Chains A and B, each alone.
Chain A
Amino acid sequence: MLVIVFGASFLAYNLQAYSSDPLSAFGESTAINKDYLIAKTIRDLQLDVPPPIRYFSWLRGIVAGLWGDFDMGLSRSNIPVSEILAMAIPVTIKLVITATFLAIVFGISVGMITAIRQYSRFDYTMTFFSFLLFSLPIFWVAVLLKEFMAIQFNDFLADPRIPPVVVMLASLVFGFVLAGFAGGTRVQFFSVLAGAALFAGLVLTYVSATQWFLEPSLGIFGVSFLALCNAVIVIQLITGLDSKKGRNAGIGTAIAIAVLYYPLQLVMSADASVLNVIAVFSITITVGILIGIAVSKIDRRVYMRIGLFTALISTFPIIIDRFMAEFSDYLNSDAVNGRPVPTLGQANDLLTPEQLDNFWISGLDTALHLVLPTIALTLISFAGYVRFSRGSLLEVLNMDYIRTARAKGLNERTVIVRHGMRNAMLPLTTILVNDFAGLIGGAIITEGVFAWKGMGQVFNDAIRNYDLNLFMGVFIISASLTVLANFVADLLYGVVDPRIRIRK
């Protein structure tokens, strides 16, 4: 493994060294001290030493990391490379983490549903959709998003009324998607469609009539409704809705979330910090687990799990609701001036110090800056997860043990969730781990389009300034991440799949 990183870095070092010419900037220079500058550059960058030999002096700094004397060299602006990277890495992680998470969650669930409803209309639609997303260049999506999601949404906020035609169309689309998820006979399909479309229509009309976008909030009703929906899904996945104790645990937790809504507002005060958010999560999760314990005498773990997941996921609406409460102040502040969705940058520079100190406002600012890049990145990687999890689940569902499970009379939910999905997740672990490693490469373009100052920007500078040490810094980080990810994937695969143990 180390050999691979070593070899790859040697390759990259020489490629960069031979293909770049730091002296080319002086070609047309008319400076009086041109010769001196050239000589200085040669001395600083050791250009008189052949690259393969120069590589080892660079390597010595890296290897010295073993005894704590890590040195990646200086960039051409005389700042240690490790410092530049230390500033850039958190930015990139912030940029990609939400997108990856969303893409994984949505991609895998949609992929598995298309596999269960193979050859249905929903399957065909999603297949086409994922192929389309597969073929979209991310920079193009980014520019489109900037236009439609940011500029036009900001214009829309000046008069946030949704035209009836849009309400109808959006409700119909929502209805079709939900009905496609649900499947079933034609009558079921259309009743789900009608119900969902009606619901969406009512919500949108309400949103439009109350100018919700100017002062968004979920309120206790929104939070409880989402908690209930979420409880139903969690119960269905873990025990099935026909389990009485499962229902008690899940719905009990959802009710507890609703009851806790007002008390929790006290925890999330104006001078809150990340600690308060963690406190909120710990409170709800503890309550969820306790309810799980309370409803059962045996097999407590299962019901605790229901309580835990219901509480965990349902807490997000509460937090989001709290952020929303600050939205109208944020929107009308001088720094924002009624145009909340930014097209560039990672934070609003014009925010006042008081606003920056307020956890909720600065958090809202970060979140709004993340909206566009996150949507772009999610759309792009979503398609891959859909295709992969669909294929994976289909393969598993054709296995003999699935037929055995059906033959011994297990209900369809148990067959698909317990026997199918769990096994289909195995090959996904490899993909997931590798994707995390490939994120830095993937973020280069996104960072460029949205002007974030992360690894992508550093890399861009490194190439344009012929900055060999900086380039190698970015390279070594992404290469080691990839190698590490492969290693972790191998180990993980051995852990989750007992059939595969690492040989030797």
Chain B
Amino acid sequence: MSNSNKTPASAVEKNENEIANRETEGRSQRQIIINRFVKHKAAMGSLFSLIFIIIFVFTATGMNFGPKGSQFSIPGWWPYSITDIDPEGAIASSCNGGVTGCPTLDLLPSFMDGDGVQIGNHPFGTDIIGTDYFALVMRGAQQSIMVMFIVGFLGVSIGTTIGAIAGYFGGIVDAVLMRLTDMFLVTPTIIIGALIGFRFGNLGVVPLALLLGFFAWMGLARFVRTEFLTLREREFVDAARVAGASDRRIIFKHILPNAIGVIIVAGTLLLSGAILAETALSFLGFGVRPPDVSLGLLISEYQDSFSISPWLFWWPGALIVSIALCVNFIGDGLRDAFDPRQRRHVTAKDRKSAAELSGKQS
């Protein structure tokens, strides 16, 4: 064995490198990235939590499609809807000296100061008039998640298109598009959002999200442009051009796949920004309007009843935080996975297995 005469320390180092290399050996770029992402525990955990939250939320109260009047709806598994009022149930679950509508959810078993593990009629309690709060929160979360994805999708598509065109063609096209981006960029998003929300918030959540999406692409366009500016100077682009590839082919087949990391990472940041922006707008009264609900609106409506019925405040907030936190962690994992400069941290476990490996070899 060639390294048997070396000192153990350098052998350990060599094997550490081998472990790092093993990660990339014989794998395609995509496999490497997926592999790195899967190893990021926080990101994977967040991904599963997010998927779980989305499925849970969307199946709970069902969904409505289509314009008002001719609605096509899928029923959910939860018996109450946001329009059902159950005053008797609210009174039945009174607590703390006559406060109605306390949550019936109880996760503490009976021997630990609880009534046993149970879900009850109204696990999240009811609001003041007896509307089931679980249904309200689920419906609100649906709206917020929907806004998040629509804004994210629009922002990413518009931003990528503009950034790609500006970065690839350069010159006057670049100058014009970037001035345009700057024009949108100098306006704080919340100002435009409030303006749009105040006028169109009553149309429902989808038109609102579509309009917000048209003002959410600027940051991404800048990132993509910078990425395209560097990539188009690379040799493989020259090679493609010499081989006679069209601009379209170069953009879509050669540059875009290389810029996808930046796009995805910026996109996830956009998602978490979008859900916070939507809830903030709804909180201020510029977003989703009653009788429809959104998480921000719920918090805004019940912020004054915090000291009496705090659950009206905790649940929507907890959902916003968990969704945004999941998205942020996924974004972090993706950044680590895509960034080639990101060297994997050598853990104590790796060191140990490297030492064992060199022990066997010598």
Chain A residues packing against B (C-beta within 8 Å): 3-5, 7-8, 11-12, 15-16, 19-20, 119, 128, 131-132, 134-140, 143, 146-147, 151, 438, 440-442, 444-445, 448, 459-460, 463-464, 471, 474-475, 478-479, 482-483
Contacts and interface: CB of A to CB of B under 8 A. Distances in A.
A20 B197 CA distance: 11
Interface stretch (B51-59, B164-172, B298-306): B298-306
B317 interface: yes
Contact of B191 (A138, A147, A478): A478
Contacts of A478: 186-188, 191
A444 B283 CA distance: 12
Interface of B: 42, 179-180, 182-192, 194-196, 198-200, 272, 276, 279-280, 283-284, 286, 296, 299-300, 303, 306-307, 313, 317, 320-321, 324-325, 327-329, 332, 345
A97 B313 CA distance: 29
A119 B191 CA distance: 39
Contacts of B189: 441
A4 B325 contact: no
Given A137-B324, A483-B186, 15 more contacts: A4-B182, A7-B183, A11-B187, A12-B195, A20-B198, A20-B199, A128-B42, A134-B325, A135-B324, A136-B324, A139-B299, A139-B300, A445-B284, A463-B286, A482-B188
A447 to B, nearest CB: 10
A151 B328 CA distance: 32
User: Which 8 pairs show the lowest CB-CB distances between chains A and B?
Assistant: A441-B188, A135-B324, A19-B199, A135-B325, A479-B186, A8-B183, A7-B183, A140-B317
Contact of B190 (A12, A16, A445): A445
Contacts of A475: 187, 191
B185 A482 contact: yes
29 contacts: A5-B186, A8-B183, A8-B184, A12-B192, A15-B192, A15-B195, A19-B199, A19-B200, A20-B199, A119-B345, A131-B328, A131-B329, A135-B272, A135-B325, A135-B327, A137-B296, A137-B324, A140-B299, A140-B320, A143-B299, A143-B303, A143-B306, A151-B307, A444-B191, A445-B190, A448-B284, A460-B194, A475-B187, A483-B186
Nearest to B324: A135
Q: Most chain-B CB neighbours within 10 Å: which of A4, A8, A132, A140?
A: A140
A138 B192 CA distance: 19
Given A137-B276, A444-B190, A445-B284, A463 B195 contact: yes
A19 B211 CA distance: 12
Given A134-B272, A143-B303, A460 B284 contact: yes
Contacts of B199: 19-20
A134 B271 CA distance: 13
A134 B324 CA distance: 8
A459 B190 CA distance: 11
Contacts of B186: 4-5, 8, 478-479, 482-483
Given A7-B183, A463-B194, A475-B187, A131 B280 contact: no
Nearest to A1: B182
A300 B189 CA distance: 49
A441 B283 contact: no
Contacts of A136: 321, 324
Nearest to B194: A463
A471 B191 CA distance: 9
Nearest to A485: B186
Contacts of B196: 15, 19
A184 B191 CA distance: 48
Contacts of B328: 131, 134-135
Contact of A445 (B280, B321, B325): B280
A474 B188 CA distance: 11
A459 B325 contact: no
Q: Most chain-A CB neighbours within 10 Å: which of B42, B196, B198?
A: B198
Nearest to B335: A391
Nearest to B347: A119
Contacts of B325: 131-132, 134-135
Nearest to A152: B307
A4 B199 CA distance: 25
A3 B176 CA distance: 11
A479 B187 contact: yes
Given A139-B296, A445-B283, A16 B317 contact: no
Nearest to B306: A147
Nearest to B182: A4
A135 B50 CA distance: 14
A459 B192 CA distance: 11
Given A139-B299, A445-B283, A460-B284, A474 B191 contact: yes
B320 A440 contact: no
A376 to B, nearest CB: 13
Nearest to B197: A463
A441 B345 contact: no
A438 B332 contact: no
A134 B280 CA distance: 14
A7 B179 contact: yes
Contacts of B313: 143
Contacts of A134: 272, 324-325, 328
Contacts of A3: 179
A429 B191 CA distance: 25
Nearest to A11: B183
A459 to B, nearest CB: 7
B314 to A, nearest CB: 9
A136 B296 CA distance: 12
Nearest to B327: A135
A282 B106 CA distance: 61
B61 to A, nearest CB: 22
A475 B324 CA distance: 29
A139 B299 CA distance: 9
A131 B296 contact: no
Given A131-B325, A438-B188, A137 B194 contact: no
Contact of A139 (B183, B184, B283): B283
A3 B186 CA distance: 12
A5 B325 CA distance: 35
Nearest to B280: A445
Q: Most chain-A CB neighbours within 10 Å: which of B279, B283, B299, B345?
A: B283
A388 to B, nearest CB: 13
Contacts of A140: 299, 317, 320-321
Nearest to B345: A119
